Amino acid sequence: MDGRRQLGLVASSSVEDYFNDVIKKHEFTRPEKEEDRIKHMQHVQAHVGPIFLTYPENKTIDALVEKHISTHTPIFDFAAEDDVQHSGWLVDKDEDIATIENIFATQVPYTYIADGHHRTASAAKVGKQLASKNTAHTGNEEYNFFLSVLFPANQLAIMDYNRAVKDLNGHTPDSFVQQLVAQFDVAKIDNGKPTALHQFGMYLEGQWYSLTAKPSIISSDPIGVLDVTILQDYVLKPLLGINDPRTDTRIDFIGGIRGMKALEERVDSGEMKVAFALYPVSLQQLIDIADSGNVMPPKSTWFEPKLRDGLFSHLF
């Protein structure tokens, strides 16, 4: 995608690893969204899309994977409708599989959920339910594992995940901008895409503004330092009344893959009153937060490209 390649391993990951935090999380999940996925998995008795996991760069794994694809023919190789190329190679020799398993067991202490927290939680709970109903449970049954694809962190790119709000919570456009001056350096600009951490783009009344957070509001805390937290704590909550972005219907989230034009269109149409463009979270920030046991604010990360649905299924 756009000249960038991600080369990963499609595999089965352990439900026990999820519950024991060998697979680390960085987001909360919502029960109603889990329930939808649980019902689907129970009905089809399968995982029909892989969880997107990442792990710190490992040169041994990289070399093994590169050698394999250079000496084998893909089992599929096609460009999807969005022009992203998808290629897959089969690893079916027992000794190759054992080598990969051993490297992960000895050199990769943790993997991290990049995308798919709800699907992972649902798969883990379905596995536990099936285990509790099976009087002959051994731990080796397929329901003890879920479908995943593991990409090294150095090959991934996180895109921005932007916000739009339906109203100004009683403020006029001018008074709203004046309120921001206390915490941000504010300037009118032509292009709202941020170019650095702690810089935001704001689209209001057909005009882009640059909002640069003042040093006094930048925290050293791993959560507080995130731009999504700064925006929430100093703009969305105190000025726009968005106390819980997970449940407030006045806010919407727009993936960075759609570009700045999508934010402009939502505001220019009258559907939204103001939009905010954020600088992407880094992979290291994601890993640091997961390692600390904390969670990110909702809708903090957007990964591209994603695997096409239907390429892989795991029957249990």
Residues 194 and 227 in one domain: yes
What pLDDT, on the 0 to 100 scale, is given for residue 42?
A: 95
Decide if pLDDT at 35 tops 80: yes
- For the chain, the average pLDDT equals 94
Q: Identify whether 189 is part of a domain.
A: yes
What pLDDT, on the 0 to 100 scale, is given for residue 293?
A: 87
Task: Convert the pLDDT of each residue in 217-230 to its tens digit.
Answer: 998 888 888 999 99
Mean predicted confidence (pLDDT) in 122-126: 96
Decide if pLDDT at 169 tops 90: yes
Q: Identify whether 286 is part of a domain.
A: no
User: Hey, what amino acid is at 7?
Assistant: L
Q: Identify whether 285 is part of a domain.
A: no
Q: pLDDT > 70: what percent of the chain?
A: 100
Residues 107 and 226 in one domain: no
Q: Which of 277, 163, 288 is nearest to 220 (CA)?
A: 288
Residues 127 and 199 in one domain: no
Q: Identify whether 284 is part of a domain.
A: no
Residues 84 and 149 in one domain: yes
Decide if pLDDT at 76 tops 80: yes
The residue ranges of DSSP E strands in the chain, in sequence order, are 9-14, 23-24, 46-47, 51-55, 76-79, 85-88, 111-115, 145-152, 158-159, 161-165, 184-189, 199-204, 207-213, 251-255, 274-277, 302-303, 314-315
What pLDDT, on the 0 to 100 scale, is given for residue 220?
A: 83
Q: Identify whether 62 is part of a domain.
A: yes
The CATH number given to whatever domain includes residue 189 is 3.30.1760
Decide if pLDDT at 298 tops 80: no
Task: Identify the residue with better confidence: 284 or 142.
Answer: 142
Confidence of residue 296 (pLDDT cuts 50, 70, 90): confident
Residues 17 and 141 in one domain: yes
User: What's the total number of domains in the chain?
Assistant: 2
Task: Convert the pLDDT of each residue in 263-284 to its tens digit.
Answer: 999 999 999 999 999 999 888 8
Mean predicted confidence (pLDDT) in 232-237: 97
Q: Identify whether 199 is part of a domain.
A: yes
Decide if pLDDT at 212 tops 80: yes
Confidence of residue 301 (pLDDT cuts 50, 70, 90): confident
Confidence of residue 292 (pLDDT cuts 50, 70, 90): confident
Q: Identify whether 296 is part of a domain.
A: no
Confidence of residue 161 (pLDDT cuts 50, 70, 90): very high
Residues 88 and 180 in one domain: no
CA atoms within 13 A on the CB side of 233: 14
Mean predicted confidence (pLDDT) in 68-82: 95
Instruction: Compute the Cα dihedral for 258, 114, 281, 63 and give only its sign.
Output: negative
Could you list the residue range(s) of the whole structural domain that residue 130 is in?
A: 9-156+304-315
Residues 80 and 179 in one domain: no
Decide if pLDDT at 306 tops 90: no
Confidence of residue 153 (pLDDT cuts 50, 70, 90): very high
Mean predicted confidence (pLDDT) in 242-261: 91
Residues 137 and 189 in one domain: no
Decide if pLDDT at 131 tops 90: yes
Residues 168 and 69 in one domain: no
Residues 53 and 133 in one domain: yes
Decide if pLDDT at 18 tops 90: yes
As a three-state string, the secondary structure of 85-139 is EEEECCCCCHHHHHHHHHHHHHHCCCEEEEECHHHHHHHHHHHHHHHHHCCCCCC
Residues 143 and 17 in one domain: yes
Decide if pLDDT at 302 tops 90: no
What pLDDT, on the 0 to 100 scale, is given for residue 232?
A: 95
pTM tops 0.85 = no
Q: Identify whether 287 is part of a domain.
A: no
What pLDDT, on the 0 to 100 scale, is given for residue 49?
A: 87
Mean predicted confidence (pLDDT) in 27-54: 91
Residues 255 and 134 in one domain: no
Task: Identify the residue with better confidence: 2 or 239.
Answer: 239
